[in-house]
Amino acid sequence: MLEVAALAVEIQNSEILRNVGFKVAAGELVCLVGRNGAGKTTTLRTVMGYITPRSGTIRLADMDLIGKSTLERARLGIGYSPEASEVFGELTVAENIALPTWTRQTEKSPAERIDLAYRFFPNLRRYEARPGTHLSGGERKMLSIARTLALDADLLLLDEPFEGLSPSIIPGIRNSIHEIVRLGLTVLIAESELQHVPEYADRIYVMERGEIVFGGSLDEARRDTTVRQIIGETL
Amino acid sequence: MTTANPTTVRVDSTRSFVKLAYLAPVIGFIVIAAFPYAAGPHYTILMFSAMGFAIALLGLNLLLGYTGLLSLGHAMFLAIGAYTAAYLTSAKIMTLELILLTSVAVAIVVALPIGLLCIRYVKIYFSMLTLAFSMLLYSFLFKFYLITGGDEGIRIKLPSPLLFDMSNLGTLAALTGPMYYYVFGMLIVLTFLMWRITASTFGLGLRAIRENEQKAQYLGVNVQRYRLIGFVIAAVYGALGGVIVGIPVGLADPSLAYWVQSGNLIFMLLLGGYTSFFGPILGSIVFIFFQDQLMSYTEYWRLTFGVLLAVIVIFFPNGLMGIIDPRRWWST
């Protein structure tokens, strides 16, 4: 589904990503794990087209994404839920969810896609008429992910979906993501804490200083000495 | 004796205020319709002009209120409408519908290339670019005397709508009679159309862009295309407004494209409230009538207008609609 190879990114003459490569097969849940500043968000933003890489390839279902705009990538079926959620504060929950249903035409009808978004995050139904600014952090995260479902994205990029959330909310969002994966969608999560990586993750990649230093299963990561040294405190 | 629950009282009064908010525009349109009967010809002609400005402002507010783009050169489209009317009536083409359609076509032809360039920029850069194009048009109208009549402009003869026979009517009778109601009908239709546009998915996309174009992009909104369409729609409304504004004056002159005119349009929007759908209509009417009254009382009317603008911006950022819209009373 998504194949990133030898990706290098420079921002203001600083090398942020070096030789980053990973694969996410269709229907998989893959996590990029690393400390703050390791390059996870930069990787997702580069995949989404916000940052032009210096070199490397990004392929979505054998299609080269380099040179394609964020808009084109969204229309190709990449849904993005950024770290800061970034819901439209002045639009209501219903409008936030409705927006992507007409920007990308798919086989599913807008009503089906809206229903899908609410099915995974039923709490949002109660706040349909509420503006985005009136939502809590957890509700914003839910809405942000729900919008990617309304886009009918095939690949979901979720940047720190559990960041800053109350521990009581995290299991709910984790379950929803699990349901999304069971539905057959492909999910790439950027996560700074290994403890937040869902047990059902197919594979994790550990990033450190802009490089992938480990790739394997969650159990293997827990046993790996390099991973322990990097994010040992959260194991 | 029962005591009213404060929550219930508040909900009930909110509902009645909301009903009032929906009723107010209807009452407003009835007042405009009754104007030729209730007010004298002078005020009816003023209302005629105010309706023209209101049409132009509905378009301008699609840019400012819904897309977050402040055009400082929107008056160029007023001038395009007025000059189209002037050229066509000078060429003995007196059918108002034809003039309106031509002004729409000219506005689209002009707005497309200008829009393609301007919408690539936002904030002050967009504002200054639109101002620059407006001043270019102003200079052209001012300097190319043989084509444009220079500072004297070109006369606009009274056109005639297909719907009404105005052959037996004098100019004043036509302007305060059939033409007035024709323009009133135009205002209603164009207001309804704009309401449909802003309530559509396209309007939702514009609001998303206003809030954050990056966010809008990753949800599949084609920011440039939406801005361009918004710009062209605003231009079309501006040109239609320009035709109407030019008719009672009977003249299309370069001052219509001057930056002061664009400033007046922004003033009207702020006065009425650019955060409200009906703000542009209220703003244009209050501005035109207030200006008329103030000019008859003092030669320092511009000074008074300056103070008024400062008061609005500081104390009433949502304009007059922010004061009279009951829903806003609660929010503040």
Domain spans of chain A? 2-231
Mean pLDDT taken over chain A:
85
How many A/B residue pairs have CB atoms within 8 Å? Answer: 57
Contact B83, B191 (CB under 8 A): no
pLDDT score of B327 more than 90: no
To the nearest whole Å, the CA of A88 is away from the closest chain B CA by 7
Residue B326 confidence (pLDDT): 55
Q: Which residue has the tokens 């991973």?
A: A227
To the nearest whole Å, the CA of A199 is away from the closest chain B CA by 29
Question: pTM for the whole thing?
Answer: 0.82
To the nearest whole Å, the CA of B66 is away from the closest chain A CA by 11
Residue B48 confidence (pLDDT): 94
Contact A3, A59 (CB under 8 A): yes
What residues have CB less than 8 Å from B281, skipping those under 6 apart? B28, B54, B57, B58, B187, B191, B272
pLDDT score of B16 more than 70: no
When scoring B207, B211, B218, B222 by the number of chain A Cβ atoms within 10 A, the one with the most, hence best to mutate, is: B218
Burial B117-153 (b: 16+ CB within 10 A, else e): ebbeebeeebbebbbebbbebbeebbeeeeebbeeeb
To the nearest whole Å, the CA of A41 is away from the closest chain B CA by 15
pLDDT score of B168 more than 50: yes
pLDDT score of B330 more than 50: no
Residue B2 confidence (pLDDT): 41
> Cβ B218–A48 below 8 Å, yes or no?
yes
Give A 187-216 residues with CB within 8 A of chain B.
none
Interface residues on B facing A, Cβ-Cβ cutoff 8 A: 201, 204-205, 207-208, 210-212, 214-223
Q: What is the mean pLDDT of residues A163-190?
A: 83
**What is the dihedral angle through the alpha carbons of B167, B171, B177, B180, rounded to the nearest 10 degrees?**
120
Neighbouring CB atoms inside 10 A of B22's CB total 8
**Closest chain B residue by Cα to residue A80:** B218
Contact B258, B119 (CB under 8 A): no
- Measured in degrees and rounded to the nearest 5, phi and psi for residue B95 equal -80, 120
To the nearest whole Å, the CA of A194 is away from the closest chain B CA by 27
What is the distance between the alpha carbons of residues A22 and A56, in angstroms, rounded to a whole number? 12
What CATH code would you report for A2-231? 3.40.50.300
Residue B19 confidence (pLDDT): 61
Residue B332 confidence (pLDDT): 24
Give A 93-122 residues with CB within 8 A of chain B.
95, 98-100, 102-104
ipTM above 0.85, yes or no: no
Least confident span in A138-142, B110-114, B164-168, B270-274: B164-168
- A23: contact with B, CB 8 A cutoff: no
Could you tell me the two tokens for B308?
A: 């008024």
Q: Please give the helix or strand (H or E) that residue A2 lies within, else none.
A: strand A2-11
Burial B271-302 (b: 16+ CB within 10 A, else e): bbbbbbbbbbbbbbbbbbeebeebeeeeeebe
What is the distance between the alpha carbons of residues A22 and A157, in angstroms, rounded to a whole number? 14
Contacts of B215 in chain A (CB under 8 A): 86, 88
> Cβ B219–A50 below 8 Å, yes or no?
no
Among A75, A86, A151, select the one facing B215 at the smallest CB separation.
A86
- A50: contact with B, CB 8 A cutoff: yes
Contacts of B220 in chain A (CB under 8 A): 71, 74-75, 100, 103-104, 151
Beta bridge partners of A156: A79, A187
Q: What is the mean pLDDT of residues B82-93?
A: 91
Least confident span in A89-98, A168-177, B264-273: A168-177
Residue A165 confidence (pLDDT): 76
Q: What is the mean pLDDT of residues B181-199?
A: 94
Q: Please give the sequence-ordered ranges of beta strands (E in DSSP) within chain B, or none if there are none.
A: 154-155, 251-252
Q: What percent of chain A has pLDDT over 70?
A: 98
Burial A118-127 (b: 16+ CB within 10 A, else e): bebbeebeeb
Going by pLDDT thresholds of 50, 70 and 90, the confidence category of residue B14 is low
